[in-house]
Amino acid sequence: GGLHGNEPAGLAAAARVMEALARAGNLSRGELVVLSGNRRAIARGVRFIQRDLNRQWSAERIAELRAAAASPGVLLGPEDREQLELADALDHVLEGARGRVFVVDLHTTSAEGIPFALIGDHLRHRSFALRFPLPLLLGLFGAIGGTLTEYLSARRCVTVAVEGGQHTSERSVAHHEAVFAAALAASGLLPEAAVPGLAEHRSRLGAAWHDLPRAVRVHHRHAISAEDRFAMGYSGVGYKTSG
């Protein structure tokens, strides 16, 4: 959570779920790791300080940053340091993994909207994402480039990114808490009966879904400018299907 510093809902949801797990007992299998994203930007309440941290992820970029960090006199920017710290933490997780690694990246949007999931086109991502009562958005990761989930997908992780709603809305925290709980069951870390409040969490996401289609594929991406006065959200209004 918090890969963008103005999106704190994922971290707030993680804290709630971790407290619930502490009361409920140990995981049935595997390990749960919660990583805070751009902590320097979170402290300022801004999306990023110098660079969008969710547009910088590639093996080449990590190698360049590590080489720069090892060079005397090279001054790294705030997001550069954040990315190196995250890359080291992720490497530690992947090197110690004894089985498949599932990654859920929690985000929010500037406008109010219905929570939805973004996934890559690999079947392993779809089968995981279909365990969540959320509409799925396909075809966007390749159009954006440099996202953390795309980077981790290339490293054979099972990934899904979730947009939970508006940045500061309490509903967004509740949506991400529900996603977190569903992920515990979908990944096999806990049997469904042992996930605290799972039925209620699934019901909350299902109620937010309304009548949107199960999946939507992006066919065109418009690069916005300041003149567009764009506010991100997803209501489903105006969509159409054919065939």
**Alpha carbon distances (Å) from 20 to 7, 46, 192, 218, 219:** 22, 29, 15, 37, 40
Ranges assigned E (strand) in the chain: 102-109, 116-119, 136-138, 158-166, 215-217
CB of 71 within 8 A of CB of 147?
Answer: no
Give 25-62 pLDDT, tens digit per residue.
Answer: 888 899 999 999 999 999 999 999 999 999 999 999 99
Name the band, by pLDDT with cuts 50, 70 and 90, for residue 242.
very low
Choose among 155, 139, 210, 203: nearest CA to 175. 203
Q: Which two tokens stand for residue 219?
A: 């066919």
**What's the pLDDT at 239?**
44
CB of 140 within 8 A of CB of 160?
Answer: no
Q: Which has more pLDDT, 135 or 226?
A: 135
Name the band, by pLDDT with cuts 50, 70 and 90, for residue 235.
low
Choose among 127, 119, 118, 121: nearest CA to 100. 127
Specify the amino acid at residue 144. I
Q: Which helix (H) or strand (E) holds 73?
A: none
Question: CA-CA distance, 131 to 153, in Å (whole number)?
Answer: 18
Residue 237 confidence (pLDDT) above 60: no
Q: In the predicted model, what is the mean pLDDT of the chain?
A: 91
Q: Which has more pLDDT, 101 or 112?
A: 101
Spell out the SS3 assignment of 125-173.
Answer: HHHHHCCCCCCEEECCHHHHCCCHHHHHHHCCCEEEEEEEEECCCHHHH
Residue 123 confidence (pLDDT) above 60: yes
For the entire predicted model, the pTM comes to: 0.89
**What's the pLDDT at 238?**
45
CB of 92 within 8 A of CB of 143?
Answer: no
**What's the pLDDT at 220?**
83
Residue 167 confidence (pLDDT) above 60: yes
CB of 34 within 8 A of CB of 49?
Answer: no
Specify the amino acid at residue 57. W
Residues near 231 by beta carbon (within 8 Å), at least 6 away in sequence: 109, 110, 111
Distance in Å from the first CA to the final CA of the chain:
38
Residues near 94 by beta carbon (within 8 Å), at least 6 away in sequence: 101, 155, 157
Give 175-206 pLDDT, tens digit per residue.
Answer: 999 999 999 999 999 999 999 999 999 999 99
